[in-house]
Structure 1
Amino acid sequence: MTGVSLSRWTMSYFAVALAALVLGEALMLAGYGFPAAPLRAPQTLVLVHLIAIGWLSLLLCGALFQFVPVLVARNLHSDTLPLPALVLLVAGLGLLLCGFLQLAGTIAPTPSLLPYAATALAAGFAIVLYNLGRTLWAARPLPLPARFVAVGLACLAATVTLGAIFSFAFAALLPSEALAAIAASGLPLHIIAGLGGWLTFVAMGVGYRLLAMFMLAPELDGLRPRTALWLGAGALAVAIVGGLALALLDISVFPALLASAVLGAVSLALYGADIVYLYRARKRRIIELNSQMAALALLSLATAAVLGAVLLALGLFFDQIGTLVFLLAFGWLGGLGLAKLYKIVAFLTWLECYGPVLGKQPTPRVQDLVVEARARKWFLLYYAAVWSGSVALAIAQPLLFRLAAGAMLVATIAIAAQLVRTRLLSDVAAGNRLPEGAHRPHLLISLAATG
């Protein structure tokens, strides 16, 4: 982190993201959306986009504003732009959810809010892409983790573009037959670009760097991680570009999806081997809670990959797509997000509070800001609930699924409470909490800089 300033608005992104996760889990507990409603029902679309944009995308944007500069050893292009981006993204998400509620008949159907939602979300993500893109462009040639991020940002652009096409299609405002063809066949491409490219591929790249940094393991940049990068990027290109070409030719996109799945599976296998190597090669012999829980997220990813292959072989893949997406969204991405939040919030709070007095005053360690024994049970409850929810979906037991969602909600609120305690320095010994010259951190913004 030497020479890199703290991102002022990262904590605000994290707070909004956690609020969206809690709301999404509460809706699942209440029986709103899938599995009580079909996968393509407006109620399910409300839930899916609340999690995909409100929780996972805002979480990742906030993390990237802080850690892209770490990946490339340069300051963020602009520390001012994240705030208007956040405002636009939250406004766009609100409009999008209301637009789906219009489709469900919950609120008045006219005028359609979906085009306005698409415009606001596109503007917000465009600011994110510009800010991060300028930061990466200035740092060429990029190190390996940053290349994963660059591919993921390209997938974000594709995801937003496809989402905008769907929004205008719902409002019957598409100006051409080509866009109508994409809207008719492009949903799988939208999911792959978002879940596989933007969220998973970026998480893979950042994971290479953060796991190495937090476990004191060697940074990887050899043949295997490079092959994982190129195969993964190839899989995404085949799915998105190839799928779009097939859709425009009025041909089924399934061949592109199948070829992409094969390439993606190999990429994930290589990535998994790299992560196992990082755990084994670490210098920090006692694994901290965040890395332990990240391992459970990776286990969820591996389980989803194996389950997907089995279902495909049995001809049940599309019957169980909801189960797979749930396990990936909450077990892999959501679990990894919560695990890394636990460390990132403590690490950034420590830098903000004690960075100005390092070497001048005795200061607590990063680990002194948290109580892992207290948080561990809530993480274990979260993963147990996610896995139980996945089983409930697979065997079509909606009541069991709602109970699992309730357990997820309890665990998430408890983990969020631990993050607030960290931010407020509540678990630091009183006599060592604020040495002279230290900065008391604000809950939602970072005002101090390091470097």
Structure 2
Amino acid sequence: MLGASLSRWTMSYFAAALVCLIGAEALMAAGFGYPTVALAAPETLLLVHLTTIGWLSLLMTGALLQFVPVLVARPLQWPDLSAPALLLILAGLAALLSGFASMAGIISAPLEVLPVGGLLLMLGFGAVIATLGRTMWQARPLTLPTKFVVAGLAALTGTVALGETFALTISGLAGGEEVLSLWTHGVPLHALLGLGGWMTLSAMGVSYRLFAMFMLAPDAEGFSTRLVLYAGIAALLVVAAATPFAMVATAGLPAMLLVAGVSGLVALALYGRDIVALYRQRKRRVIELNAQAAIGGFAALGATVLLLVGLLVAGQLSSHIGALTYLFVFGWLTGLGLSKLYKIIAFMTWLECFAPVMGKRQTPRVQDLVDEPHAAPWFGAYYAAVGFGTLTLLVDLPIAFQLFVGVQLFATLAIVRHFYRTRGLLNVPLKLRGSTALPHLFRPKSIIRSPS
């Protein structure tokens, strides 16, 4: 890894993503969106897309731009697409949010901004898919973790396409019984492709490699890992096949969603088994904070599965889908994202600042860039807030939910402060920092090319 290339724009993706996360949590703490209003209300749609596109998608995209080259042991192809892709995604998100804000009566804007935003998002994510796709294409045959990323990018394509169709429908630029039926019955497909396909499968692929690399554990290339991939792809294929059923509102749609759900649960269960095996087989006996904090994310994923099963058995899934989604998004995906960012930012900063002088003078370890004793309590506070927030949604206590999201926001800000301190080398002893220049907060000063 000493010759690994730095993605020039990954830090910018991370910075924009964190701003969106903080904005989404602040809105929830202020009572904006669900549960103050309905799940289908424009305010909730604004909040959902700020979180899923602004936070999770930008986070995942930035991580993939840095780590797909690690997965395939090749430099990133067409790296100059990264900056315009970020600008297009941010512009598309701004247009989309403006459309939802207009629907909510917050601002006055034509509804045509919704499909314009969708088009910009298609162009931005299309550029990301192009650069990552070309990089992986040149590295065939692909490693198993890389195949998860391929499946995730395929799901991203379907998610964006469905989203643009919905935007055209809402704006009145597309009509017809089939299109209206897709809008009425296809939202679960859109959510499953995005949260379950794009974000979860991609997170699985990257986490398999990162956990093995950072904990010195064997690479996950076994039979169970292949079953995780196959079960996940099967769930995505069923969701894709359900689209025509949503367009004609036939009775077969619930059955297909059930099949996709069962296949997805199998994938999650096997994935959990693999992660436990990685922790047990690690050679690094002392678990660093990023791996400790990730346990909270995996616990939230397990709790999400148990809650889903419980709600299905009780016949109350539709009544508590908001609580389930909140736990999945902020417990599992966000918890894992924040915990891995804690290591990734330190790792990239070390590569930029100290890898070039290795062997020439004394340099700090990656761990010297972070302050685990002071950061650990904030991860605990974050997960506790999400857990109690989920309970308040289940028992319908919206004011209490706002209070716990306020705690969640405060913990997030404290964790982001630790990211800033890591990036600014504020935790590194002066004798180890030496004359090292401080890195740019959002973008590396130079690129370390992989040796040819």
The answer to whether the superposition gives a TM-score over 0.5 is: yes
Alignment of 1:76-225 (within 5 A): 76-110=76-110, 112-174=112-174, 177-225=177-225
Q: Is the 8 A contact 1:148 1:204 kept in 2?
A: yes
Task: Provide Cα deviations, 1:67-98, integer angstroms capped at 9, x if missing partner.
Answer: 00000101111221111011111111111111
Alignment of 1:198-347 (within 5 A): 198-239=198-239, 241-252=240-251, 253-347=253-347
Task: Provide Cα deviations, 1:198-237, integer angstroms capped at 9, x if missing partner.
Answer: 0111101111000111100000111110011101110111
Question: Greater CA deviation, 201-210 or 245-254?
Answer: 245-254
Which amino acid is 1:449 matched to? I
Q: C-alpha separation between the residues in 1 aligned to 2:213 and 2:432?
A: 26
Secondary structure of the corresponding residue to residue 396 of structure 1: coil
Secondary structure of the corresponding residue to residue 80 of structure 1: helix
Secondary structure of the corresponding residue to residue 361 of structure 1: coil
Tell me which residue corresponds to 1:31.
Answer: 31
TM (norm. structure 2) is 0.97
Tell me which residue corresponds to 1:442.
Answer: 440
Q: Are 1:400 and 2:400 matched, yes or no?
A: yes
Secondary structure of the corresponding residue to residue 316 of structure 2: coil
Tell me which residue corresponds to 2:415.
Answer: 415
Q: C-alpha separation between the residues in 2 aligned to 1:368 and 1:126?
A: 38
Structure 1 runs (4+) deviating above 6 angstroms are: none
Task: Provide Cα deviations, 1:183-210, integer angstroms capped at 9, x if missing partner.
Answer: 2321000000000000111101111000
Q: C-alpha separation between the residues in 1 aligned to 2:109 and 2:210?
A: 46
Q: Is the 8 A contact 1:4 1:74 kept in 2?
A: no
Task: Provide Cα deviations, 1:146-184, integer angstroms capped at 9, x if missing partner.
Answer: 000000000000000000011111101116544333223
Task: Provide Cα deviations, 1:39-80, integer angstroms capped at 9, x if missing partner.
Answer: 000000111111001110000000000000000101111221
Alignment of 1:8-47 (within 5 A): 8-47=8-47
Which amino acid is 2:200 matched to? T
Q: 1:439 deviation in Å?
A: 5.1
Q: Is the 8 A contact 2:182 2:248 kept in 1?
A: no
Which amino acid is 2:438 matched to? R
Q: C-alpha separation between the residues in 1 aligned to 2:403 and 2:301?
A: 23
Q: Percent identity?
A: 50
Which amino acid is 1:397 matched to? L
Which amino acid is 2:396 matched to? A
Q: C-alpha separation between the residues in 2 aligned to 1:399 and 1:180?
A: 35
Q: Is the 8 A contact 2:386 2:408 kept in 1?
A: yes
Q: Are 1:70 and 2:93 matched, yes or no?
A: no
Task: Provide Cα deviations, 1:95-125, integer angstroms capped at 9, x if missing partner.
Answer: 1111001111222243531121111111111
Q: 1:308 deviation in Å?
A: 0.0
Question: Greater CA deviation, 409-418 or 173-182?
Answer: 173-182
Q: C-alpha separation between the residues in 1 aligned to 2:175 and 2:410?
A: 46
Aligned length: 448
Q: Is the 8 A contact 2:145 2:205 kept in 1?
A: yes
Q: C-alpha separation between the residues in 1 aligned to 2:437 and 2:64?
A: 24
Q: Is the 8 A contact 1:102 1:112 kept in 2?
A: no
**What is the Cα-based RMSD across aligned positions, in Å?**
1.2
Q: Is the 8 A contact 1:72 1:143 kept in 2?
A: yes
Q: 1:250 deviation in Å?
A: 3.1
Structure 1: 5+ residue stretches without partners = none
Q: C-alpha separation between the residues in 1 aligned to 2:355 and 2:173?
A: 53
Which amino acid is 1:423 matched to? R
Secondary structure of the corresponding residue to residue 79 of structure 2: coil
Structure 2: 5+ residue stretches without partners = none
TM (norm. structure 1) is 0.97
Q: 1:246 deviation in Å?
A: 1.4
Secondary structure of the corresponding residue to residue 110 of structure 1: coil
Task: Provide Cα deviations, 1:305-345, integer angstroms capped at 9, x if missing partner.
Answer: 01101110110111110001000100000000000000000
Q: Is the 8 A contact 1:434 1:440 kept in 2?
A: no
Q: C-alpha separation between the residues in 1 aligned to 2:244 and 2:103?
A: 29
Q: 1:434 deviation in Å?
A: 3.2
Which amino acid is 1:298 matched to? F
Q: C-alpha separation between the residues in 2 aligned to 1:246 and 1:23?
A: 36
Q: C-alpha separation between the residues in 2 aligned to 1:281 and 1:111?
A: 54
Which amino acid is 1:442 matched to? H
Q: C-alpha separation between the residues in 2 aligned to 1:42 and 1:247?
A: 22
Task: Provide Cα deviations, 1:229-251, integer angstroms capped at 9, x if missing partner.
Answer: 10111011112x22113123431
